[in-house]
Amino acid sequence: MRALHLTSHESPPAFTDLPEETPGPGQIGLRIAACGLNFADLLMISGKYQDTPALPFTLGLEVAGTVEGLGDGVTGLAPGDRVAVYGGQGGLAEYGVFDATRAVRMPASMTPEDAAAFQIAYGTSHLALDHRARLQPGETLLVLGAAGGVGLTAVEIGKLMGATVIACARGPEKLEIARQAGADHLIDARTDDIRAAVKALGGADVVYDAVGGAQFEAAFRACKPEARLLSIGFASGDVPQIKANHLMVKNLTVMGLYWGGYLTFAPELLTGSLAQLFAWYEEGRIKPHISHVLPLARAEEGLDLLRNRKSTGKVVIRIPE
């Protein structure tokens, strides 16, 4: 099988022909149809992601495809089932072996491309806003990086949860995409004073931040008393340093959210969250925004789109069956 393989953090990934594995106990063999790209893939290439696998490994965190093989002890799945899988690695390949407990049946109406773009982005935003921040109807939600893979889903979900949504993104084209996803107010991160613009709108109750750096600092200073700030990621490359005395003055709460981490200590939260999200998808209330669908041979081009911030929503790699 063909796979985008990483053998060194000092060298770029390269396409390699690898033997197809046989699923072991508790595993499934999956004929992969699509793989969603994530900023975490870029961090893995450099060895900076918190869950970077041991070298060598195949890139690609989340996939959709058809079950072809079952290892011993696997129940509830059968060859031919269409599933989405968060595997953490192994997605940019024609075939993969994954833990069966990571597989979720796709709704009948869902395409492989939508499924591959779905779990991490929507799962992160729903768990962050619902479970962690306890976002309430009528509150004001500020989303930084609002046209990105997770940011755009935060706009959608925040609106579904009854919040007034302020979307902050770079440039009018990206802001228009956020507006179409439900944003009530738009801030251009390239030209606007984020702090002043948010304060003019009354301040933020919840901040959803996948950017970090100067944008986090500006949002922090535009919070209402008792606001909650969600630290989702650091696409700017700058991890903000928070002064505890500033938290005290406004009674602020800063909280982190790493979606994949819940698999190790509270998987039932992910299961319940995904059930709600799939229901919303089937009702037509959410729909992944995919700016680029590329073939496997152009996967490195897809990673460059993320690296250079030239995509909106998700980039998906289609893998012929």
Structure confidence by residue, pLDDT tens digits, 95-117 = 999 999 999 999 999 999 999 99
Taking the alpha carbons at both ends of the chain, their separation in whole angstroms is: 11
Please compute the mean of the pLDDT values over residues 25-50 and round it to a whole number.
Answer: 96
Q: 286 by DSSP, 3-state: which?
A: coil
Q: Can 2-118+288-318 and 121-260 be said to share one CATH topology? A: no
pTM given for the model: 0.93
Q: Which CATH number does 2-118+288-318 carry?
A: 3.90.180.10
Please compute the mean of the pLDDT values over residues 123-129 and round it to a whole number.
Answer: 98
Please compute the mean of the pLDDT values over residues 127-142 and round it to a whole number.
Answer: 98
**pLDDT tens digits, 53-90:** 999 999 999 999 999 999 999 999 999 999 999 999 99
Q: Where are the beta strands (DSSP E) in the chain?
A: 2-6, 14-17, 27-36, 57-58, 62-70, 82-86, 95-99, 103-105, 140-144, 164-169, 185-188, 204-209, 223-231, 253-256, 290-295, 314-318
Distance CA 158, CA 255 (A): 17
Residue reference for tokens 């819940």: 262
Q: How many CA atoms lie within 13 A of 196 on its CB side?
A: 5
The conformation of residue 50, written as its DSSP 8-state character, comes to T
Whole-number percent of the chain with pLDDT over 90: 97
121-260 CATH fold: Rossmann fold (3.40.50)
* Banded model confidence at residue 321, pLDDT cuts 50, 70, 90: low
Mean pLDDT of the chain: 96
Domain edges within the chain: 2-118+288-318, 121-260
The closest of 205, 232, 222 to 122, measured between CA atoms, is 232
**pLDDT tens digits, 239-284:** 999 989 999 999 999 999 999 999 999 999 999 999 999 999 999 9
Mention every residue, 6+ apart, whose C-beta is less than 8 A from residue 16: 2, 3, 4, 5
